């Protein structure tokens, strides 16, 4: 579970978002081995953004901590080996608006009724039994500043479910990107960008809708994929 294509693409897509330019604090929920946090650390050097990565599974957390420590951005990266439920409880006990996060990003577990692996650690990473989506969205909203940005990677067939959960927690869809393996198949992942507003949905807001096709008909990487990942994939 070190690296997967959709997570790399998701991190690179978020790294291009205009909101990163003015961000000072980022929370990565379920960081795994720290991949997305490291991508975002690379592009936020100028504004000295602090990145907190939370990971419940101890082996992944240990590897993320190691990856952070040997990176050139280690002073801006911190690892918390705990559940987001515990982290939120400890954080909000003394939190004020200024200590909340500008940006929250997550590639959450999304399998629910699917057949589980014999490997308990893989189940923690891939299945939502440890962290339901409703809990994830609720905690994210609690930790996000007003007008802050929430980015999440989900299966396309469940994107609407995530949208409704976010709306129930004062976070409203600003952009959706559909991800296709190739042009012959239906999209399999959605990148969702929400913005928090306790004032409710702005009816004048136009939701941006885009798509990314990973591979061309000859099985080579598409131009869109290459442009996003050329700074991170050594062979592009």
Radius of gyration of the chain (CA): 17
Cα distances (Å, whole numbers) of residue 70 to 38, 75, 76, 79 = 11, 10, 12, 13
Domain residues for the domain of 165 are: 5-229
Residue 195: strand pairing partners: 149, 172
- Going by C-alpha positions, the residue among 62, 66, 17, 70 that lies closest to residue 44 is 17
How many Cα atoms within 13 Å fall on the side-chain side of residue 7? 21
Question: What confidence score (pLDDT) does residue 49 get?
Answer: 96
Structure tokens at 113: 């009724």
Which 8-state DSSP code applies to residue 118? S
Question: What confidence score (pLDDT) does residue 3 get?
Answer: 80
Q: Is residue 71 part of a domain?
A: yes
Task: Tell me the pTM.
Answer: 0.90
Question: What confidence score (pLDDT) does residue 226 get?
Answer: 97
Q: Is residue 78 part of a domain?
A: yes
For residue 29, pLDDT over 80 is answered with: yes
For residue 106, pLDDT over 90 is answered with: yes
Q: Is residue 97 part of a domain?
A: yes
Q: Is residue 234 part of a domain?
A: no
Q: Is residue 10 part of a domain?
A: yes
Q: Is residue 43 part of a domain?
A: yes
Q: Is residue 205 part of a domain?
A: yes
The number of distinct structural domains making up the chain is 1
Question: What CATH number is associated with residue 202?
Answer: 3.40.50.150
Residues 6+ apart with CB under 8 A from 4: none
- Going by C-alpha positions, the residue among 162, 173, 159 that lies closest to residue 203 is 173
Structure tokens at 197: 């507003």
Q: Is residue 236 part of a domain?
A: no
Give residue 123's pLDDT band: very low, low, confident or very high (50, 70, 90): very low
Structure tokens at 130: 């440890």
Structure tokens at 208: 């941006």
Residues 6+ apart with CB under 8 A from 184: none
Cα 67 to the center of its chain, rounded Å: 18
Element housing 178 (H / E) = strand 171-180
pLDDT (tens digit per residue) in 208-217? 999 999 999 9
Question: What confidence score (pLDDT) does residue 229 get?
Answer: 96
């Amino acid at each position: 579970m070190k690296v997967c294509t959709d997570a790399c693409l998701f991190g690179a897509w978020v790294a291009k978002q205009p909101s990163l330019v003015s961000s000072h604090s980022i929370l990565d929920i379920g960081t795994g081995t720290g991949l997305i946090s490291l991508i975002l650390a690379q592009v936020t050097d100028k504004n000295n953004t602090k990145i907190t990565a939370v990971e419940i599974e101890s082996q992944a957390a240990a590897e993320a901590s190691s990856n952070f420590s040997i990176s050139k951005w280690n002073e801006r990266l911190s690892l918390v080996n705990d559940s987001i439920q515990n982290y939120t409880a400890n954080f909000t006990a003394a939190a004020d608006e200024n200590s909340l996060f500008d940006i929250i990003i997550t590639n959450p577990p999304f399998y629910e009724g699917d057949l589980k692996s014999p490997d308990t650690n893989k189940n923690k990473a891939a299945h939502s039994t440890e962290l339901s989506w409703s809990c994830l969205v609720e905690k994210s909203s609690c930790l996000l500043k007003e007008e802050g940005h929430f980015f999440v990677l989900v299966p396309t067939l469940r994107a609407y479910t995530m949208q409704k959960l976010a709306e129930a927690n004062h976070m409203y869809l600003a952009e959706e990107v559909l991800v296709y393996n190739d042009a012959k198949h239906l999209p399999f992942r959605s990148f969702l960008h929400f913005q928090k507003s306790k004032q409710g949905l702005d009816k004048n807001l136009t939701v941006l809708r885009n798509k990314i096709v990973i591979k061309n008909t000859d099985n080579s990487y598409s131009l869109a994929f290459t442009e996003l990942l050329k700074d991170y994939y050594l062979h592009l």
